[in-house]
Every structure is written in C-alpha cells, then in structure tokens.
Amino acid sequence: MSKAKGRSFLYDVLMPKIYGLGAAVVIVGALFKIQHWAGADLMLIVGLSTEAVIFALSAFQPQGHEPDWARVYPQLADDYVGEGLVPATAAVSGGPSATKKLDDMFRDADITPEAINRLGAGFNKLTTVTGQMADLSQATAVTQDYTVKVKAAADSLTKINEAYTATANAISQMAGSTKDAQEYHKQVQSMTRNLGALNAVYEMELQDANNHLKAMNKFYGNLSIAMENLTDASKDTEQFKQEVSRLTQNLHSLNTVYGNMLTAMKG
C-alpha cells in the first residue's frame, strides 16, 4: 500500500510513454535528414529539442523506494542479534545416518555380498543373451534384406524378358522394313534409269532444236544480206531511171534541134 501511495503519475505512468514518443520523433527527424527530404532541418530540430526536454524532465525523476526487507527477514538487519539460520542437515544430525539405514535394510532383506555377486553374474548373462538376440535380429534383418533383393532381382529379370521381347519384335519389324527398303531401292533404281533415258532423249531434242535454231539464224542472216542487196539494187535502179530520164530529155532536145534544122533546110 505504501508503494501505491508513493506512485507518481508523471514519472511512473506518463514519462515511459513520453520516452517512446520522443525517441520516435528523433528517429523520424534523423530519417528526414539522411534522406534529404523537404523539411529535414525542421524535423531534426524538433526531434532533438523533444529529446532534450525529455532528458531535462528525467533529471528531476525521484528515486524509487527500496522496501525494508529487514521487516520481513529480521536476520537482514544490521543490528540483528540472535540465533543464526539452522542448516537443514542439522535437524537430522542426532538420528541414524542414511548409510546405516541402508545396511539395516540389506541385512533385513538377507542381501549378502554373495547375493550381490550372483545378481551381477545374472546381469552379465542377461547382457550376453541380449547381444545374441541383437545378432538374431540382425540376421533376421539380413534375411529380410536378402528377400527384398531377390524380389528386386526377379522384377529385374521380368523387365529384362519384357525388353528382350520388345527387342525381338523390333528386329522382326526391322526385317520387314528391310524388305520394303529393298523394294523401294529397286523402284528408285528403275526411276533413275527412266530419268537417264529421258535425259538422253531430252538432250537429243535439245541438240536438234539447237541445230534448227542455228539453221534459222543462218537463213535469217542470208535473208538480211539479200534484203540489203535488194535495197542496193533499188538504189541503182533509181539512179538508172534518173539517167534514162535525162537521156530521154537529151534525145528530145536533140530531136527538136534536128527538126528545126530540117525545117530550116526545107524552107
């Protein structure tokens, strides 16, 4: 009750909360300053000022009341005068010891050293039998392991037989495929021969066409020469025509002259 009466609302109830809130403000101000956010200087000033105020208030915090334990345990008092604490073993110091009681129990139960030796021998035999049982259990485990391995080997043989059967079937299919491949090879050879003959015929036709083309080119060449000659002959004919025309004119003029001469001679 005395402790409850001496409890301060400011320092015992409110100040722990103020410590936490002030530390939070300081951390936020430091965060603003580290991150260089806007208002970092103001936040840092507010946080440090809050912490300074809290430290100033904590300087006036009264010391806690230490209870007087001597009122509960008088032996803790500095001026205590009286008997000390009685050890727990002292309460039974006047009675028989525990070893003597154990000896009495062995004597009443007729447990002699020979009986203890026989008990030890029995424990040794029990240990030996237990070891043999462990060996037997180990042999059983080995037998079980052997059985499992034999079963696994049988399964493996079954899988090998299945694989051998599948291989035999595959070989049979390959044999059939070989016959088909031989027939296909024959067909390919026949087609190759036909293509060879066709190529020979095509080559002959190509040679004939080439010879015919050469003959046509030669014919057209000769025809071009003939046309050129004909053109030249046409030019010569035109010139001959012009010469004949001039000769006719000359003869006409000569006839006129002769006619005039005859007329003059007659007149």
Cβ partners under 8 Å of residue 157, min gap 6: none
- The whole-number average pLDDT for the span 29-46 is 93
Please check whether residue 68 is in contact with residue 62, taking contact to mean a CB–CB distance below 8 angstroms. no
Cα gap 71→168, rounded to integer Å: 104
Residue 46 pLDDT class (50, 70, 90 cuts): very high
> What is residue 26's predicted lDDT score, i.e. its pLDDT?
92
Q: What is the pLDDT of residues 162-195, one digit of tens each?
A: 776 777 676 667 666 667 777 877 888 888 888 8
Cα gap 12→58, rounded to integer Å: 11
Quick one: angle between helices 15-35 and 40-58, nearest 10? Answer: 150
pTM (predicted TM-score): 0.27
> What is residue 132's predicted lDDT score, i.e. its pLDDT?
67
With a cut of 70, say whether residue 93 has pLDDT above it: no
- The whole-number average pLDDT for the span 62-68 is 76
Q: Which two tokens stand for residue 199?
A: 């190529």
Q: Between 165 and 46, where is the model more confident? A: 46
> What is residue 140's predicted lDDT score, i.e. its pLDDT?
56
Q: What percent of the chain has pLDDT over 90?
A: 13
Task: State the SS3 of the chain.
Answer: CHHHHCCCHHHHHHHHHHHHHHHHHHHHHHHHHHHCCCCHHHHHHHHHHHHHHHHHHHCCCCCCCCCCHHHCCHHHCCCCCCCCCCCHHHHHCCCCCHHHHHHHHHHHCCCCHHHHHHHHHHHHHHHHHHHHHHHHHHHHHHHHHHHHHHHHHHHHHHHHHHHHHHHHHHHHHHHHHHHHHHHHHHHHHHHHHHHHHHHHHHHHHHHHHHHHHHHHHHHHHHHHHHHHHHHHHHHHHHHHHHHHHHHHHHHHHHHHHHHHHHHHHHC
Residue in 24, 23, 41 with CA at minimum distance from that of residue 32: 41
> What is residue 39's predicted lDDT score, i.e. its pLDDT?
92
Q: Between 91 and 200, where is the model more confident? A: 200
Q: What is the pLDDT of residues 70-90, one digit of tens each?
A: 888 887 777 777 665 554 444
With a cut of 50, say whether residue 3 has pLDDT above it: no
Q: What is the pLDDT of residues 144-160, one digit of tens each?
A: 666 677 677 667 667 77
Cα gap 43→20, rounded to integer Å: 17
